[in-house]
Amino acid sequence: MRKPADHRKAEIVAKVLDLADRIGPDRVTTGAVATEIGITQAALFRHFPTKSAMWTAVAEQVSDWLGRAWASALSSGTKPLDRIAALIAAQLHQIAATPAMPMLLFSRELNVDNADLRAAFRDRLSAFHALLLQEITHGQQQGEIRDDVTASDIAVLLISLVQGVAIRWSLGSRNFALQDEGERLLAVQLHLLATKGIR
């Protein structure tokens, strides 16, 4: 029985991410995806006429997941420090749920072959930076976060924390709990950034 187009597209995107995790993004081919799903390559091309279009759909799906996670995080706390912690936790959770994400950042598919994919992930990184920057600025204005470090530099430090833990997790065969380790290090970072008496 033929699946509805939307369901098949979602299945293809999920399989691309699964394969990217298992064999690496640069080894993912339309043929491999079709074989894994149990359809012909021609059937896959009815949904995504090119490999680039398939990867664009992957980027759109990941972007949607991230956007939803960030929106939920921002609604979960009343103080800037709480919202910052929630944003970082949401990002760590999404990486743990989609382990191919860190590998995509260093893949040939992203960095050489597919400008649209690269732009999509750069846009998401910029959006995450902007959200953190907003909360950090609010925290500085409210006296929660020290203001002798620029808000932009703090945002970069926090993003670097996420990226560093994610890379270590990926290279270390995921031998530790990503979210737990990330949140532990985040607590240290926020303690150093908070004004006296806050944390």
Distances from the Cα of 126 to the Cα of 4, 9, 77, 116, angstroms: 34, 27, 22, 15
166 neighbors 102 (Cβ within 8 angstroms):
yes
- Residue-averaged pLDDT of the chain: 91
- What is the per-residue pLDDT across 41-56, written as a single tens digit (0 to 9) for each? 999 999 999 999 999 9
Please give the pLDDT value at position 118.
83
Domain ranges of the chain: 56-193
pTM: 0.88
Phi, psi of 176 (to 5 degrees): -150, 165
Compute the distance between CA of residue 112 and CA of residue 54 in angstroms, rounded to an integer.
16
**CATH number of the domain located at residue range(s) 56-193 in this protein:** 1.10.357.10
Confidence of residue 198 (pLDDT cuts 50, 70, 90): very low
In the 8-state DSSP scheme, what is residue 78? S
Compute the distance between CA of residue 187 and CA of residue 173 in angstroms, rounded to an integer.
24
DSSP per-residue letters across 127-183: HHHHHHHHHHHHHHHTTSB-SSS-HHHHHHHHHHHHHHHHHHHHHTTT-S-HHHHHH
- What is the per-residue pLDDT across 135-148, written as a single tens digit (0 to 9) for each? 999 999 999 999 99
Phi, psi of 162 (to 5 degrees): -60, -50
